[in-house]
Structure 1
């Protein structure tokens, strides 16, 4: 398949998503072995080029695999172990608290993912600042673990607060803040110049406005305690470089995050942050005004990034579905292009 045929197939996949969204700016990046291409869809046109100054999107929960990549790098450097008790890093907890860094990284720490009673309590507690999409504040998470001192049952419950706490612990252990920890250990080594939490003034014009499912503009996301759960902004070009680094066998710390820690559903496992399904390693993200997908097949050296400035509906075409379909296309295709 040549690049023109590939563009046609990708356009066919994304059209149901593109057509009804008036303010859409959809960026898609593909990696095939050592070659890459990016596409920009606006609903009325498509361009195929590597943007010198690409759009910046909120990537939501894809931030989580940056957090676990930092964990993998710190494990590889001998700074800590995934089996370390969180009590080693939180003064209020005992050194042998049964919850480990691995529990936080694979969402088996016991923290409630969705708690109706806690949600109701939060409605009547305006004095406690909590990050968006998090049931708990930082102090409430620590209090939760202080009160729950038994070994957590190995039950997967997706937790923004748990992953956010992991980011907090890692940054504290490095004697810095979360954003600086990522910049020094991931962004700078990989030359991810447009991946950050705070967007510099000179780049603000590239930061897109997000829209909800009805197309209404949304305010930028701000997270204070749990930045490691979803606060990052990035571009399609940087995300392709991130995939490339994870596919490379040279990055041993990165490879650690891709190993299965447990099965969470039929044919779906979880590593340290990543979901593993049918030889595909992936994660997605969603904020009030953005949605995203990142996935790759290390064996075939292919990867896909989908970034949208719309929050997606649950039961409709979305970046997850589009990204998965494009990956399937790449896996069965012999692609011939120079980019």
Structure 2
């Protein structure tokens, strides 16, 4: 799978330590699936930087849950299927699902110029008279930056300090200031012709959805996804006391997501219990909204992109639809395999430069080994 183009919200360095450790788990080691998960999870957890992970699997309509490690360094408290994690950029698939509703229901057109939905004039949001369309936002081809304002200088600081610097900067950052800064965004290629990962574009999609429905992002999430699917523990980023403590690879406690303006791009908090329900829904390709959200709007030689969903086909023809997520203290992967009627989600309350890729390997390995049984 091509994960080079998968960018989390933030990055942290990776430090490898070869020492081993004992890992608490609720895995009963009864079935072959139990044993497969045990092998993958323990290999991941042997890095002493790891804190805890929760794994959820849906296979042929049946759910399985596994938990390892601890909810907090220094405690002997195993996470559960109801433990609350930041899911970071996996949030974008929720925004894409809401956008699928708006498109299928005729609220918007995917080839609309995004400025049709903005309240001010933005002559800068085009390149050589080629405007940014809503479709360009969904596959990161808009040319918009990753953050507003530009944070490239911040990321040049020692990584330990970047999270704190961004948290401090964005704690009072308003939507009004975001749209003031949008006037200064520079587009340097024709939208739709190049890939450039952008949280900004997804934030704009969230606002477009609010404008066409006259409802908040949280209300739309509840109405169209979490309430119908009975995802009672899935919320838009709040300072919930239930959210697990999160860490970088040095064991340093990391700040939580910064502000609600990031909600459509990476602000959802959820559990494996809820995300298994979400995967079950997205395995139903006969649902018109699911089908729309999984449909790529442009062709690509590498992994295709639907409405934020990444789509990859393995050499054996098996297709996976997925997204990773990462903040400075949380890592995650959510992958569904329609032809196998199966999905895997893995959530971790520790983040480093390789954790997302390894979590993705865990999901792939569970699929591959399950397919052999």
Q: TM-score range by the shorter chain?
A: 0.7 to 0.9
1:298 match:
338
Task: Rate the CA distance shift 1:110–1:141 in 2: closer, same or farther, 3 A.
Answer: farther
Residue in 2 that maps onto 1:236 = 272
Q: CA deviation at 1:325?
A: 1.9
Cα gap change, 1:210/1:154 in structure 2, threshold over 3 Å: closer, same or farther? same
1:78–1:315 distance in 2 versus 1, CA, 3 Å: closer
Maintained 8 Å contact 2:149/2:181:
no
| 1:78-93 matched pairs, under 5 angstroms | 78-93=106-121
The alpha carbon displacement at 1:149 in A equals: 10
Q: Distance in 2 between matches of 1:33 and 1:273?
A: 25
Q: Of residues 152, 157, 177 in structure 2, which corresponds to 1:119?
A: 152
Cα distance per residue 1:108-154 (max 9 Å; x no partner) = 1111348998623999x99x95489xxxx622563146x65984251
Per the alignment, residue 39 of structure 2 pairs with 12
Alignment of 1:66-81 (within 5 A): 66-81=94-109
Structure 1 residue 329 and structure 2 residue 369: aligned?
A: yes
Is the 1:61–1:230 contact (alpha carbons within 8 Å) kept by the matching residues of 2? yes
Structure-1 residue corresponding to 2:59: 32
Counterpart for residue 262 of structure 2? 226
Instruction: Give SS of 1:318's match.
Output: helix
Following TM superposition, by how much is the alpha carbon of 1:172 offset from its aligned partner in structure 2, in angstroms? 2.5
What TM-score, normalized to structure 1?
Answer: 0.82
2:142 aligns with one of 109, 130, 139: 109
Closer/same/farther in 2, CA of residues 152 and 22 from structure 1, 3 Å limit: closer
Q: Distance in 2 between matches of 1:120 and 1:61?
A: 22
- Alpha-carbon RMSD across the aligned residues, in angstroms, is 3.4
Give the drift of 1:171. Answer: 1.7
The answer to whether structure 1 residue 252 and structure 2 residue 279 are counterparts is no
Query: Structure 1 residues 98, 150: closer, same or farther in 2, change over 3 A?
Result: farther
* Segment of structure 1 superposing worse, 20-29 or 78-87: 20-29
Task: Classify the secondary structure of the residue corresponding to 1:226.
Answer: helix
Q: Cα gap change, 1:309/1:54 in structure 2, threshold over 3 Å: closer, same or farther?
A: same
d(CA) in 2 for partners of 1:315, 1:187: 27
Number of equivalences: 315
Unmatched runs of 5 consecutive residues or more in structure 2 = 1-28, 71-78, 124-128, 157-164, 314-318
Determine which of 188, 191, 196 is the counterpart of 1:157: 196
Task: Say if 2:170 and 2:258, in contact at 8 Å, map to a contact too.
Answer: no
What CA deviation, in whole Å up to 9, does each residue of 1:205-249 have, x standing for no partner? x42111112222122222232311101100001111111111113
Identify if the C-alpha distance between structure 1 residues 3 and 305 changes in structure 2 by more than 3 Å, giving closer, same or farther: farther
1:133-144 to 2 correspondences below 5 Å: 138-140=178-180, 142-144=182-184
Q: 1:299 to 1:273 in 2, by over 3 A?
A: same
Contact persistence 2:142–2:191 (CA under 8 A): yes
For residue 173 of structure 1, the aligned residue among 212, 216, 219 is: 212
| C-alpha separation in 1, matches of 2:324 and 2:270 | 13
Return closer, same or farther for 1:42/1:252 CA change in 2, 3 Å cut-off: same
Residue 275, structure 1, aligned to residue 310, structure 2: yes
Distance in 2 of aligned mates of 1:5 and 1:118 = 47
Contact in 1 for aligned 2:247/2:350 (Cα 8 Å): yes
Q: Secondary structure of 1:30's match? A: strand
Tell me which of 86, 90, 95 is aligned to 1:58: 86
**Is contact 1:21–1:215 with CA below 8 Å preserved after alignment?**
no
Give the TM-score normalised by the residue count of structure 2. 0.75
Question: Residues 315 and 252 (structure 1 numbering): CA distance in 2 closer, same or farther, change over 3 Å?
Answer: closer
Q: In structure 1, what is the Cα distance between the partners aligned to 2:244 and 2:221?
A: 22
Other structure's SS at 1:284 match: strand
Q: Is contact 2:86–2:269 with CA below 8 Å preserved after alignment?
A: yes
Assess if the C-alpha contact under 8 Å between 2:57 and 2:276 holds in 1. Answer: yes
